[in-house]
Structure 1
Amino acid sequence: MNHSNTVERSIYQTGLRILLGAFLVFAGAGHLTWHRTEFLAQVPTWLPLNADLVVLLSGVVEITLGLSLIFLKSKQAQVGWIVALFFVLIFPGNISQYVNGISAFGLDTDRARLIRLFFQPLLVYWAIWSCGSWTDYQSKRKS
């Protein structure tokens, strides 16, 4: 890969990292305000915590992660892994919404809820790729 392709990819990755950060800040703000009820629908009933507390805390975490994606440039590889882990940790909420047939965010059919499940791995990949987390891991492993 020549230098111009590396620079273009870096700009592309940076743009998508910032976009993911903005998405998380927006979603986190929704947890705390206008989409709170919708997010309550995703808290698994088996979770031994107050559902509203889970929504509020996950909103704060999303805002923090989003801002970290945008502003913590020197720690991007680590932030990418943390964001990916967050997406894995919240996946049971998406599964619960599907299994229990709970409508939220316009997902009012089993098909729509099922299709949504396939987007979570893409979010994990997006976080790792846009932050260069895997590349950083590989280069440290080689040295």
Structure 2
Amino acid sequence: MKKENIEKGAKFLLAAGLVLAGIGHLTFLRKEFQAQVPNWVPLTKDDTVLLSGLVEIAMGTALLLAPKKYEKPVGLIAAGLFIAVFPGNIAQYQNKISAFGLNTDSRRFARLLFQPVLVFWALKSSGNLNRRIVK
């Protein structure tokens, strides 16, 4: 299988996951996502969830539809999104908030370990990590 096809497939899966998560923010997973919003966020929990859902839908759509010349910047923005929500994941672990089946410290901690994978996935599938360091 060609490397390019693997990257396209990975980007499609990431984009689909973002769109689905965004739809979940707006509808059937709204309460679960509200439970994860740290108290220090200046917006209401519901506003935070709704806005982040719209951002995830937009990000997933951009990953799918961006012209080739915007592929790398969109991937960087997606990676930035995953970094931006990481403090919420840390707060979920620190405050022992159960949501999405993450009802033990070990599960919440495992979730923390997955976040860098999402950052890498966004960068790799958008061609941001394809540069050779040594020729």
TM-score, shorter chain, exceeding 0.5: yes
Identify which range, 43-52 or 104-113, moves more after superposition: 43-52
1:118 to 113, 116, 121: 113
1:25 aligns with 2:22: no
What is the RMSD computed on CA atoms of the aligned residues? 1.2
Alignment equivalent of 1:50, drawn from 25, 44, 51: 44
Q: Looking at secondary structure, tell me which structure has more helix per residue.
A: 1
Structure 2 residue ranges without an equivalent (≥5): none
Large movers: runs of 4+ above 4 Å: none
* Partner of residue 67 from structure 2, selected from 57, 62, 73: 73
Identity of matched residues, %: 50
Shift of 1:68: 0.7
State TM-score, norm by structure 1.
0.88
TM-score by length of 2: 0.93
Aligned residue number for residue 100 of structure 1: 95
The question of 1:109 aligning with 2:107 is answered no
**Match in the other structure for 2:57:** 63
Q: Specify the SS of the correspondent of 1:31.
A: helix
Cα deviation, residue 133, structure 1:
1.7
